[in-house]
Structure 1
Amino acid sequence: MSNYLSQLWHTVPWPSLGPFIGAIATVVAATLGALVVIWQNAKQARRATAQIRHTEAVKLKMRVYEEIVGLCHVAGDAQVAYSSYVRGFAIDLTLFREMTQAGLSWGVPKARAPGLFEKQARFSEAVIALVFLTERWGVIHPGLEMYRLAFNVASHDEGVAFSPYRSLAIRLMPAENPNSPQQGSLFPWTLPDDAAIQALEVATEALISAIDSFGGFIYDFQIDMQNLLVGELFEHRITPREPLDPKVVVARLDDWKKLKAYFENSTAWGKAKNDIEARVRKANEVRG
């Protein structure tokens, strides 16, 4: 067959090959052109698909960020309201004592036990909401596990500090008389002695420190989420907070592994958790 084609090629006059060669060249050129167009269309399609994915990813990040901002706003309000209520009671006691000692008439403290419990409940709900948030969106970054631990540590510390404060506060706060026909009428109230006020001040500072620790973690969380979720949209990144007290722990994603280990093993909450888990494992081994 090859010999036949070779003989045919040499026997056919060159002028007769012109149209044939031209047709072949046209077919080759058209084929190459079509392949180039197909390649360019495929490339454009990949770019368009990548752009759509990026756009949808940005939209999802924005939705997550909006959810985070909303919960952080609620948590921040709860933290400030709780801390202010506790501090306000201590300040009112001090003012009442100073004013009455000066012979001036002064209103009794405004804080009441139900109000304290309401503020504490709102605070606890806010902590739980942020813990659930870090679990729900843990896929965003592995460091969200560190923030889950940080919020749990803050909640534990607040609970430990609240117990002695509550015992003092409910005894020292004015109480409303529910049987009085006049709304807001109080049971007889007298100023606590100096020792009781001093004990309350110590308990107040311990509780406020625990409450504000949670507030610091909220701030850290918002900084990291801004940089992580919307940082690509802007040329500016926010730096972590730098407390004046070097003992204050700052949560940050760029050091999340070290902080995770700290929260798990070096905090009161982490040690209690590890102790409980060890006892459960031991009990299961005994039963097994």
Structure 2
Amino acid sequence: MSNYLFQLYHAVPWASLGPFIGAIATIIAATLGALVVIWQNAKQAKRATAQVRHTEALKLKMQVYEEIVGLCRDAVDAEVSYSSYARVFVADLKLYREMTQAGLNWGVPKARAPDLFEKQARFSEAVIALIFLTERWGVIHPGLEMYRLAFNVALHDEGAAYNPYRNIAIRLMPTESPNGPQQGSLFPWALPDDAIIQALEVATDALIQAIDSFGGFIYDFQIDMQNLLVGELFQHRITPREPLDPKIVVARLDDWKKLKGYFENSTAWGKMKDDIDAQVRKANEVRG
């Protein structure tokens, strides 16, 4: 066998096979080169696809963030207008009392019941808009459920403070004639006594505290949404607010589960919701 292989080796015209071997080597090299190019193109395509997805995700985040910014701006405007109206009214009453007691001719307070109703309604609409937002975009983070509860708590607390405030305030606000030849003129108005003004101050403080609580949640919400949606673009994160009063609740996504439990179980709104749920279950059992 070895002799046969030796003879075959010497019988093959290796010199004439040179071009053929070179062609084979060229084909192999070209094939390997093509495979490398294909692998590189596939890798680049994968990177490009990932980059497109990332870019589209950033665009969607920016769209959501723009919506959030717009609703938060409206909510802050409504909050400030509402709380300022309540503050100014009680301040005007006290100023009118001081000026008239000093013998000066002073204009009556400018606050009117219809304006108060409009500002309260605008505030409620702004809170509800943010509640709907957290439901609409809950997919972006599970902690948005916590913010939905926080806004519900704030709306409930404002409503609980508004009712007693309204009952006092509308009796003290000057009233304009709605129609007739005297339209726009004031009905007779007299300064209320000190005890009633004091009661209004107490009711005003409670209302403003409830309104400001919502304002705090708006601030917390904007911080978390900046960090969540656009923080990647700027490589920066904003720290949560730190109130001087430790009793003030700060909403934050990094502690959303604990805060969700607090809003559900330790607030007036949460307890009211539990009572309503229990009543509904009981009614369903009776009907069943």
- Pairwise same-fold verdict (TM > 0.5): yes
Cα RMSD after superposing both structures: 1.8
Deviation at residue 35 of structure 1 after TM alignment: 0.5
1:203 is matched with 203
1:158 is matched with 158
User: How many residue pairs end up in the alignment?
Assistant: 284
Distance across 2 between alignment mates of 1:230 and 1:179: 53
1:202 to 1:22, Cα distance in 2 relative to 1, 3 A:
same
Deviation at residue 178 of structure 1 after TM alignment: 1.9
Deviation at residue 24 of structure 1 after TM alignment: 2.1
Distance across 2 between alignment mates of 1:182 and 1:245: 51
Do residues 60 (structure 1) and 35 (structure 2) align?
A: no
Distance across 2 between alignment mates of 1:11 and 1:199: 121
Deviation at residue 51 of structure 1 after TM alignment: 1.1
1:105 is matched with 105
1:268 to 1:9, Cα distance in 2 relative to 1, 3 A:
farther
1:71 is matched with 71
Distance across 2 between alignment mates of 1:183 and 1:286: 55
Distance across 1 between alignment mates of 2:13 and 2:109: 118
1:249 is matched with 249
Distance across 2 between alignment mates of 1:8 and 1:92: 119
Q: Which amino acid aligns with 2:96?
A: F
Deviation at residue 10 of structure 1 after TM alignment: 7.6
User: Equivalences for 1:143-222 in 2 at 5 Å?
Assistant: 143-222=143-222
Deviation at residue 19 of structure 1 after TM alignment: 3.0
Range with bigger deviation, 7-16 or 159-168? 7-16
Distance across 2 between alignment mates of 1:8 and 1:142: 78
Q: Which amino acid aligns with 1:161?
A: A
Distance across 2 between alignment mates of 1:220 and 1:31: 60
Q: Identity of paired residues, percent?
A: 85
1:18 to 1:80, Cα distance in 2 relative to 1, 3 A:
same
Distance across 2 between alignment mates of 1:49 and 1:234: 23
* Secondary structure of the corresponding residue to residue 59 of structure 1: helix
* Secondary structure of the corresponding residue to residue 148 of structure 1: helix
Q: Which amino acid aligns with 1:56?
A: E
1:139 to 1:8, Cα distance in 2 relative to 1, 3 A:
farther
Q: Deviations over 1:12-39 (max 9, x none)?
A: 3333443333222222111111100000
2:34 is matched with 34
1:6 to 1:202, Cα distance in 2 relative to 1, 3 A:
farther
Q: Which amino acid aligns with 1:170?
A: I
1:13 to 1:112, Cα distance in 2 relative to 1, 3 A:
same
Runs of 4+ in 1 over 4 A off after TM superposition: 5-11
Deviation at residue 237 of structure 1 after TM alignment: 1.6
Distance across 1 between alignment mates of 2:21 and 2:284: 86
1:142 to 1:10, Cα distance in 2 relative to 1, 3 A:
farther
Unaligned runs of 5+ in 2: none
Deviation at residue 184 of structure 1 after TM alignment: 2.5
1:6 to 1:47, Cα distance in 2 relative to 1, 3 A:
farther
Do residues 80 (structure 1) and 80 (structure 2) align?
A: yes
Distance across 1 between alignment mates of 2:225 and 2:270: 24
Distance across 1 between alignment mates of 2:97 and 2:84: 20
Deviation at residue 265 of structure 1 after TM alignment: 0.7
Unaligned runs of 5+ in 1: none
Deviation at residue 105 of structure 1 after TM alignment: 1.2
Deviation at residue 6 of structure 1 after TM alignment: 12
Q: Deviations over 1:182-205 (max 9, x none)?
A: 442111000101111111111000
User: Equivalences for 1:105-144 in 2 at 5 Å?
Assistant: 105-144=105-144
Q: Deviations over 1:115-161 (max 9, x none)?
A: 10000000000011101111111111111111111000000000000
Deviation at residue 177 of structure 1 after TM alignment: 1.4
Distance across 2 between alignment mates of 1:185 and 1:217: 41
Do residues 14 (structure 1) and 17 (structure 2) align?
A: no
Q: Which amino acid aligns with 1:37?
A: V
Distance across 2 between alignment mates of 1:103 and 1:41: 90
Distance across 1 between alignment mates of 2:282 and 2:123: 35
